[in-house]
Structure 1
Amino acid sequence: MHESREHLQTLTEIRSLMERSSKFLSLSGLSGVSAGIIALIGAAVVYLRLQTDTFQLLNYQRLELYDTAAHQSIREFLLIVAFSVLLAALLAGSYFTIRKARRQGASVWNASSQRLVWSLAVPLATGGFFCLALLHYGLIWLAFPATLIFYGLALLNGSKYTIRDVESLGYCEIGLGLLSLFWPGYNLLAWTVGFGVLHIVYGLAMYFKYERNTA
């Protein structure tokens, strides 16, 4: 019996070592929390800028009431906010992830993290170009659910190289994006829930599950 337990423990240790070598496990839950807070701030900025029509401004039926100059102004404003939110979220996420990796004595940039970055980058880059095309043709109301859908696909693609909990977040993002396709009057609200609320909930869950006792 004692020998069987030793074998089981040895197998568990081997499995853990293999998982660490093939997966990036230093992804911090606080990265998700910070990204969610930044997304909420970005959504608030957009809402305040477009508050004359509230969320309905992003409805394709309401957008038809605006001329070309107004469309261009809205597109430029949304792009500035989107890139600002993305940059801030990346910087905050990198900080918390690097901090966690250092506490674990692990390397941040290794084979597993490179695979993770590449698996995320392809769907995100594809989605980014797709959304730019939507904005170029004035389909602003479709750009919001598209970002949620492509981001969810990126999470699903990258989940095999990190903690599997990322997969659940990916499904939620895709589902919310698909739902918002048929809920065009509230695309900003759906975007706020997807990138803001879900990130905060996911980040807190990951923090208390994996990091609380080691912080």
Structure 2
Amino acid sequence: MNEEQDYIRDIAQIRSIMERSSKFLSLAGWAGIMAGLYALTGAYVAYTVFEFNPDELIYSSTQSANLPKVILVALFVLFLAISTAIFLSSNKAAKRGEKLWNALVKRLLINMAVPLITGGLLIIILIAKGFIGLMAPFALLFYGIALYNASQFTYEEIKSLGLIQIGLGLFSTYFVAYGLVCWALGFGVAHIAYGIYMHYWYER
């Protein structure tokens, strides 16, 4: 009986070692929650303060007068989300006795970077051409693709989160008037739900 328990314990340890070497498991659930809260706050500011809610593909010059301020809000939200994720994930990695930066994280970031950079450049082109209504949908689409790519290097749940972003992106590409709402649902609500799930399932 003792030998059988030893075998089970050894198998569990081997599985844990293999999982650590092939998956990045230091993503903090609270990072997702905070990113979602930042996104919801940013969407609220864009809508109420700057009256930004594209209901058509092309905005007139008067309608897009506050666009630079909206872009600054979005960049600030992105900065806060990334900074918080690095800080919380670094703390989690330290508690697990791991380094935050390693070859696995590098591969994860490379797989995310290609769709994110491509999407970012495409959004800049859309803004230059006046297609403001596609900013939010395309941000969701390419972010979703980036998450789907990254899921092979971290928690499997990231894949589902990516598919949700892609679905919201496709929906808001067709129904442009719901772009900001879908952006808030994808970057806000979905991140909060994901973060709560990850925190209670993996971190408690």
TM-score range, shorter chain: over 0.9
2:85 paired residue number? 93
What is the CA-CA distance between 1:40 and the residue it aligns to?
A: 0.8
Q: How does 1:48-63 map to 2 (within 5 A)?
A: 48-51=48-51, 55=53, 58-60=54-56
What is the CA-CA distance between 1:165 and the residue it aligns to?
A: 0.9
CA contact (8 A) 1:145 1:177 kept: yes
For 1:175, which of 167, 171, 179 is the aligned residue? 167
Q: Compute the TM-score of the two structures, normalised by the length of structure 2.
A: 0.92
User: Letter of the aligned partner of 1:33 in structure 2?
Assistant: I
Give deviations 1:65-123, integer Å, cap 9, x for gaps: x3x3643x343123211111111111111111111111112111111111111111111
1:20 paired residue number? 20
What is the CA-CA distance between 1:8 and the residue it aligns to?
A: 4.3
Give deviations 1:1-48, integer Å, cap 9, x for gaps: 765554444333222211101211100000000100110111011011
Tell me the distance in 2 between the aligned counterparts of 1:178 and 1:2. Answer: 55
Structure 2 SS opposite 1:60: coil
CA contact (8 A) 1:35 1:196 kept: yes
What is the CA-CA distance between 1:197 and the residue it aligns to?
A: 0.5
CA contact (8 A) 1:144 1:188 kept: yes
CA contact (8 A) 1:43 1:188 kept: yes
Q: How does 1:186-197 map to 2 (within 5 A)?
A: 186-197=178-189
Structure 2 SS opposite 1:25: coil
1:38 paired residue number? 38
CA contact (8 A) 2:50 2:70 kept: no
Tell me the distance in 2 between the aligned counterparts of 1:5 and 1:160. Answer: 31
RMSD: 1.8
2:126 paired residue number? 134
For 1:123, which of 115, 126, 130 is the aligned residue? 115
Tell me the distance in 2 between the aligned counterparts of 1:74 and 1:158. Answer: 34
CA contact (8 A) 2:116 2:146 kept: yes
What is the CA-CA distance between 1:155 and the residue it aligns to?
A: 0.4
- The alignment covers a number of residue pairs equal to 204
CA contact (8 A) 2:46 2:73 kept: yes
Q: Compute the TM-score of the two structures, normalised by the length of structure 1.
A: 0.88
Query: Gapped runs of 5+ residues in structure 1?
Result: none
CA contact (8 A) 1:75 1:135 kept: no
Residue 112 of structure 1 pairs with residue 108 of structure 2? no
User: Letter of the aligned partner of 1:138 in structure 2?
Assistant: G
Q: How does 1:143-158 map to 2 (within 5 A)?
A: 143-158=135-150
Between the two proteins, what is the percent identity of the paired residues? Answer: 41
What is the CA-CA distance between 1:49 and the residue it aligns to?
A: 2.7
Query: Gapped runs of 5+ residues in structure 2?
Result: none
User: Letter of the aligned partner of 1:203 in structure 2?
Assistant: G
